[in-house]
Amino acid sequence: MRVWKLLGLAGILAGVATGAAVARDERVRRHYDAGEIRTRLHQKHDEAVARAETSEG
């Protein structure tokens, strides 16, 4: 019975840790304003296009 209690506690702690990580990532993501997000998306797009052109030729 003790093993099940430890497994349950470990599962709860894993859930709490995952929730904390998701909340932290969400706070970081929301910190950007619209202009910064647009700039980052354009940069990622340009990099993807450059990689595609490099792999084609």
Position 14 scores a pLDDT of 94
Chain segment 9-37, per-residue pLDDT in tens: 999 999 999 999 998 888 887 888 889 88
Position 7 scores a pLDDT of 92
Burial 12-45 (b: 16+ CB within 10 A, else e): eeeeeeeeeeeeeeeeeeeeeeeeeeeeeeeeee
Q: Given a cut of 80, is residue 56 above it in pLDDT?
A: no
Q: Report yes or no on whether pTM surpasses 0.85.
A: no
